[in-house]
Structure 1
């Protein structure tokens, strides 16, 4: 119930729904009340802010501090990369499941860059295992299973993939991952804008995640003028990601911890197979 409440409230608190609700209220005031000035203010404000948040200089200025030091690939932010990496954890994201599609088409938004970065790092560390996380939501199979299918379709052996299908959020992902790897250092792959919050949740459990950012979004390289100064839904989504991470951080400090300190024995791929 708490998970569904979080998802519905989170969706309504995103910039586009909020601004559309404000604009709709303004239209109602204009059509059905005498509060014409308030109605005009609501409509004008929502229209202008939607346009501004869709401009690349503004949206990426908002997102850039969120990505912070993770606006580069793993090799450029890790001064002394470990040689013996046994686990690469790829956090779940947007997905669907349509068996008629190519496997990678089922990974939506931020998920595909995360999975491809995880595979790239897996190839750099022979003998490692890829751990994918993410629950089912309303889909037939879980986000973790879809990600594992994509990895296997790109040549990763099935025995080198582990799908954790129960976690519904990052805090639960940290709890489930700890059951497998304990306190061993590992590569943590997620979107650059999500990494600061994810690292906090994993290290709060005494774990040793090594940040491996994917899906960097805030553009600092040169762009054509029409790409920068004409509002775009693509750049509006960058503003949404910045706002999403702010809401997620607030929720993390407000919500009760739905995980418990690890007391059960550490699971390994060998014990999983034995069971």
Structure 2
């Protein structure tokens, strides 16, 4: 239910379905009030609006979390979902786009350390195979020694990522690799467990204006707006103490944990 309320697309469709049969009987003030979420839905579908939301969220990484030498040799990377049911724990082709981007960035960082350690965090999804196991299999294919890889296979949310990685007894100072949009929430969760976080964004979803289409509605813009709003409200929920003890929270989506 919470994910529906935080999605411009779903909220707009739900509101339209509820109000359409009742529209002729609604008073004028209620019609105007009901139009606000619909207007917000239209605005969220504009790339110029969606990218500003993304840009603001991605820019919220605190200055204290920007990497400075010496760089940490322990690299923690968070899974970002899978795209289909994997055949087994070695079927890394089932990994979703964000899991792949994060892992590639983490392996690139790992290669800069001769004594590095790669910690991959992500539990079982709907298919019963831990996302971290799939990412670990791919990391080995990319040349990371199996002895340098540690898997955290139980977490099902960003908050649990931090809690369960803390239980692995790794160094306090870590390099944290995840999507730029997800970093502010992830940094908060890991700092609350006592980590000193060096932020390493794996990718950015922001795109600047490049054509007239930047000012016209699109489904990809709605997707960006959804993701940005989820991250903003998800972090706020963590800061207010909500969802910390649940086994799964509504902001741990299939593509953006």
TM-score range relative to shorter protein: 0.7 to 0.9
Structure with the largest fraction of helix? 1
The answer on 1:18 being equivalent to 2:3 is no
After the TM superposition, which residues 71-220 of structure 1 pair with which residues of structure 2 at under 5 Å, given as runs?
A: 77-78=66-67, 80-83=68-71, 85-95=72-82, 96-99=84-87, 103=91, 105-220=93-208
Q: Distance in 2 between matches of 1:256 and 1:103?
A: 31
Deviation for aligned residue 1:188: 0.3
How far off its partner does 1:66 sit? 0.9
The counterpart of 1:55, out of the listed 46, 51, 59, is: 46
1:53–1:235 CA contact under 8 A, matched in 2? yes
Q: How far apart in 2 are the matches of 1:46 and 1:108? A: 31
- Say which SS state the counterpart of residue 192 (structure 1) adopts: coil
Q: 1:82 to 1:12 in 2, by over 3 A?
A: same
Instruction: Structure 2: state its 5+ residue gaps.
Output: 247-257
Q: Counterpart of 2:254? A: none
The structure with the largest alpha-carbon Rg is: 1
Q: Which has the higher contact order (CA 8 A, sep 6+)?
A: 2
User: Could you tell me whether the CA contact under 8 Å between 1:20 and 1:46 is conserved in 2?
Assistant: no
Q: How much does 1:179 deviate? A: 2.2
1-structure distance, mates of 2:235, 2:22: 35
Match for residue 255 of structure 1?
Answer: 242
> RMSD of the alignment, in Å?
3.0
What is the count of residue pairs matched by the alignment? 241
1:264 aligned residue: none
Check whether the contact 1:26–1:42 (CA below 8 A) recurs between aligned residues.
no
Deviations 1:1-35 (A, max 9, x none): xxxxxxx53345322211111111122224xx633
Inter-partner Cα distance in structure 2 for 1:43 and 1:152 = 53
Q: Distance in 1 between matches of 2:148 and 2:162?
A: 20
Q: CA deviation at 1:199?
A: 1.2
On the 8 A contact 1:148/1:161 being kept in 2, the answer is yes
| Distance of 1:69 and 1:42 partners within structure 2 | 32
**Pick from 207, 215, 230: which aligns with 2:216?**
230
C-alpha contact 1:26 1:38 (8 A) present in aligned 2: no
TM-score by length of 2: 0.80
Residues 27 and 109 of structure 1, relative CA distance in 2, 3 Å threshold: farther
2:74/2:116 contact within 8 Å kept:
yes
- Are 2:6 and 2:226, in contact at CA under 8 Å, matched by a contact in 1? no
> 1:25–1:151: structure 2 CA closer, same or farther, 3 Å change rule?
same
Please give the TM-score of this superposition, normalised by the length of structure 1.
0.76
Distance 2:29 2:134 in 1: 48
Whether contact under 8 Å (2:73, 2:110) holds in the other structure is: no
